[in-house]
Each structure stands twice: as C-alpha cells, then as structure tokens.
Chains A and B, each alone.
Chain A
Amino acid sequence: MSKPDFEQFLNDSLNQPKQDIGPDKNLWPGIERAIAHPTEQQAEQSRFTWNKLAAVAACCVAALLSVQLFVAQTEPNTMIAMSDYFTKQKQGLLVQYQNQPALTDNWQQQLKELEEAESAIKQALENEPENPALLQMLSQVYQQQLDLINKVHAPKWQTI
C-alpha cells in the first residue's frame, strides 16, 4: 500500500486529536516543593545569583590574564589580521557618514552591544587563537557592525 501524499498526511495529522505524552519522571514533587516553600526558592535564587556573579568575576580574571598573555605575544595571528582589516573598513564608513543624519537614535547603543560581543569573542580567542568557530563568529559580528552602520545611514528611499 502506497503512503498518502504529504498534503494528505499533514491534513490527516492536524485534524486528528493531538496525541499527548507524559514526562519520563514525576515532576509533581518539585512543583509541590516550589509552591509550598516559595521563600526557600527565593533563597535558592539568591544563591544562584551570587554563584553567577562569582562565575562572571572568575571569567573577568581569566580574561585579564589572557589579555596579559596576549600583550606578551608579538606574533600576528588571524584575529589580528581580521581586526586590522575590519577597523579600517569601519573607520572608513564612519568618516563617510559623519555628516549624514542616522535613521534611528539608538544605533550607537546597538553598535556598542556588538562591540561588546566583539570583545567577548576576542577574549575567547586569546585562549584558542585559531579556533575556526570563534573566528567565524568574530567575522559575523564585524559584518553586523558594518551592516548596521550602512543600514542606519542608508537614504530613506532605500528602506521602503
């Protein structure tokens, strides 16, 4: 027997009553604890926040150490080459558009966020300078910055 075509299969499946399945484990004890002792949960939340802050602080220390190691390292790598090329492109665009009004007010905030992402990826690259996934992300963040600068300075007719 041949199977029905896709449209038929889709219609039949969507028109049937939904088949629901249960979770593998019993979730009720956790729910019961959470609703019976909300303050305990808040305390746990606060512990979690402190743990998170401690983790962020640890990451900052690691990043500082990485920067120090990077300063000591003189050999140029792919990240530096990419950064040099991008910085020139970005500066060129900013000079080109300096007298042109932007279409949005918060583009500099958006650019700042992308620059923060750029810094974070660069920090990760300090430990793995030739990691292809990190390099790809860095290149994407650079491209997003260029696109943003271009987009907010594009003439209005281009945005229609």
Chain B
Amino acid sequence: MLIDAEQAFAQQSEHTLIERVKSGDQVAYAALYELHVKRVYSLCLRLIADKEHAEDATQEVFVQLWHKIANFDGRSQFTTWLHSVTSNIAISYIRKHKNWLQKVVSFEQSGMDEQSAADCQGLNGLDKLVLRLPERARMVFVLHAIEGYRHEEIASMLDMAVGSSKSQFHRARQLLKEWYENE
C-alpha cells in the first residue's frame, strides 16, 4: 500500500515536471534529467558498448528529448516512451558513427573487451557479458530480451530481416552461454 502511494506520488510529480518542461522550464528539465539519466545512459551503454560513445549518445537523447517532449501525450508511461526514444537515437548514433568501410563491407564492430566490461561497476553479471557481444547480436539481444521488443519491431528498427533478428538473438545466447560456462 505504502509502495503504491509512493509510486503514485512519484508519477504525479513526474507528470508535473513534464508539463513544466513542455512549457519551456529548463529547471524542471534539469530535474527530469536527474531522474532519468542513469536509465538512459545504461540503455545507451548496453546498445553501444562503449562508455564515451554512450555518454555522447545520452547527451544527444536529452537534447532531442527537449525538442520532442511536446509529442509525449501521456497515453503510455513516460519511461516506456523514453526507452523507445533512447533506443532509436542510440541506433541512429551507431549508424552515424560507422565509417564508410564498415558500411560498405558490412564489418561488424566487436563488443567491449573482457576487462573493460568487468570494470563497469554497478552492472550485473549478465550486462557485463552482454557488453562483450558483437554489435548486431548485442543490439538484438538488448532490444528483445532486455527491452521487450518483438523480432518484427527489431527488424524494422535495425533494418534487417526478421529471420536475421532471430538468428542474431540465437547467436547472442550461444555466446553468452559459452562465456558464462567458462567463467
């Protein structure tokens, strides 16, 4: 009961903040940033697997969010909408930062090395393994298993066939299993 009341209060104050942000209040936006920066950064990090790039993408999310927040109509939870905005911006960030050779020859970026992933304090064991996955397998795994998108949605977001999304997910699971069992 107490938890319900706390949640209701938090949602109420978040709703007030969002309304203030919509009217151009930057102080309210700073508060909204503080509320959600960890959530946004962690999702960017899981998708991009590079701390510095994840920080850049997080900044991009909050800059674009300032302009897009008027589109939030309150029909879904703000965090659900924020996750969707963040996922799309992080994916387009990854696309923008691929060099021409990677685009032409379809080179796949490898994930974070084992030591750097292990050094990410605060993440759970699965997240640390996920950061080591190669790019496509990682993005599909994060979007499907962690964020709950369907393969059809992922295929459209990542511009790939539904079958590819499923096979990348299978590949991710195999790699995670192998690494987990050898730990």
Residues of A within 8 A of B (CB): 3, 6, 9-10, 13-14, 16, 18-25, 27-28, 30-32, 34-36, 113-114, 117, 120-121, 137, 140-141
CB distance from B8 to the nearest CB of A (A): 19
Q: Across the interface, which residues of B come within 8 angstroms of A18, CB to CB?
A: 42, 146
Q: What's the Cα separation between A30 and B42 when bound, in Å?
A: 19
Q: Across the interface, which residues of A come within 8 angstroms of B105, CB to CB?
A: 117, 137, 140-141
Q: Across the interface, which residues of B come within 8 angstroms of A27, CB to CB?
A: 37, 41, 55, 58-59, 62
Q: What's the Cα separation between A6 and B175 when bound, in Å?
A: 11
Q: Across the interface, which residues of B come within 8 angstroms of A16, CB to CB?
A: 124
Q: Tell me which of B41, B104, B122 contacts A19 (CB under 8 A).
A: B122
Pair A20/B41 contact, Cβ less than 8 Å: yes
Residues of B within 8 A of A (CB): 26, 29-30, 33, 37-39, 41-42, 45, 51, 54-55, 58-59, 62-63, 66, 100-101, 104-105, 120-127, 145-146, 173, 176-177, 180-181, 183
Q: Across the interface, which residues of B come within 8 angstroms of A9, CB to CB?
A: 125-126, 180
Pair A32/B26 contact, Cβ less than 8 Å: yes
Q: Across the interface, which residues of B come within 8 angstroms of A23, CB to CB?
A: 37, 41, 51, 54-55, 58
Please, which residue of chain B has its CB at the minimum distance from the CB of A29? B59
Q: Across the interface, which residues of A come within 8 angstroms of B29, CB to CB?
A: 35
Q: Across the interface, which residues of A come within 8 angstroms of B66, CB to CB?
A: 31, 35
